[in-house]
Amino acid sequence: MPSNKFYLKNLFILLFIIPQCVACSFSPAAKQPSGDTVKTQADLSMGDRTSNPIAILETIPSTQTDISSGLFPEPGAINSSGYLIVPNIPAPEQPSLGGGIIQDGPFVFDLHLYREPLFSADPIAPSLYSDIEGIGVYAVWKYQGPDVADPVAIYWGNEPNLSVLLSQEKYLQAGIKQGDGDGRNGGLILPESNRVGDVIRVVLKVDTAHDTYGAVLIFILGENDEHELVPVDITVQALHAG
């Protein structure tokens, strides 16, 4: 017959050893993935950015998606790299550097930065011009509401200097229908005066007769080891967000 010591030993294991092992397996430290460290927004403070420059190309980008209200496009509207597909704008195949898909009213917007070597300050064609070497912007919208016969204007640019996208003037004449989508895919254009630490706000905006909708791609100009400008802390939000 087992002795009292046997029972006491097993009771100690049940009360102390097993609970500690379970707690360790679910602790925050145990859940951290191995491999490269992901830089957070706190890590990329201005002090860190000037003393130890970090390029977004060297970190794992974060994306933001807000499609909770149920108006997100039907299955198959996203390509294999996670970009919203619209009729007239080829979606990138390259992974995103940061950005996301977000909804504002009856419109779904996709604003992402991505890497494409053809984009350059000295491009082989004017359409491939970019102020930051090798960086492009995919900025598109898709409409998920009832048909609107009134004029609709599409604006694009860096705040506060927005201009009408001339390629989409047809919506000024014909209005907009459910399922319509368009936008811009091209190089990243910066404000005329810019420097490390500047906050850049790239806007895609839709003006209807009843309201204005849009999304804002926000990032900070950082610097890499070659003292070249690079986008860091990339986020996206609805135009009407807080």
- Could you give the C-alpha distances from 47 to 24, 43, 196, in angstroms and in order? 35, 9, 12
Looking at per-residue confidence, does 199 or 21 come out higher?
Answer: 199
Mean pLDDT within 188-203: 93
Q: Could you identify the residue written with the tokens 């910066």?
A: 190
Residue 207 has pLDDT above 90, yes or no: yes
> Given the structure tokens 């811009």, which residue do they identify?
184
Encoding tokens for residue 241?
A: 């967000």
Confidence at residue 71, expressed as pLDDT on a 0 to 100 scale: 52
pLDDT-derived band at 12, boundaries 50, 70, 90: very low
User: Which tokens is 157 given?
Assistant: 């640019």
Does residue 54 or residue 9 have the better pLDDT?
A: 9
> Across residues 3-10, what is the average pLDDT?
48
Does the CA dihedral 126-190-62-135 come out positive or negative? positive
Residues 6 or more apart in contact with residue 102 via CB below 8 angstroms:
64, 65, 66, 67, 108, 109, 111, 215, 236, 237, 238
Task: Give the chain's length.
Answer: 242
Confidence band, pLDDT 50/70/90 cuts, at residue 76: low
Mean pLDDT of 73-82: 77
Distances (CA, A) of 6 to 1, 3, 20: 10, 5, 21
More confident position, 127 or 25: 127
Amino acid 152: pLDDT: 92
**pLDDT at residue number 33:** 34
Copy the structure tokens of residue 87.
């009729």
Query: Tens of pLDDT along 46-75?
Result: 233 233 332 333 333 444 455 444 555 566
pLDDT in tens, 128-171: 999 999 999 999 999 999 998 899 999 999 988 898 887 778 88
Report the pLDDT averaged over residues 205-225. 94
Quick check: 97 and 113 in contact, CB under 8 A? yes
User: What integer best gives the mean pLDDT of the chain?
Assistant: 75
Q: Are 145 and 208 in contact (CB under 8 A)?
A: no
Q: Write down the pLDDT at residue 160.
A: 85
**CB neighbour list of residue 157: distance below 8 Å, 6 or more residues apart:** 163, 189, 202, 203
pTM for the whole thing? 0.70
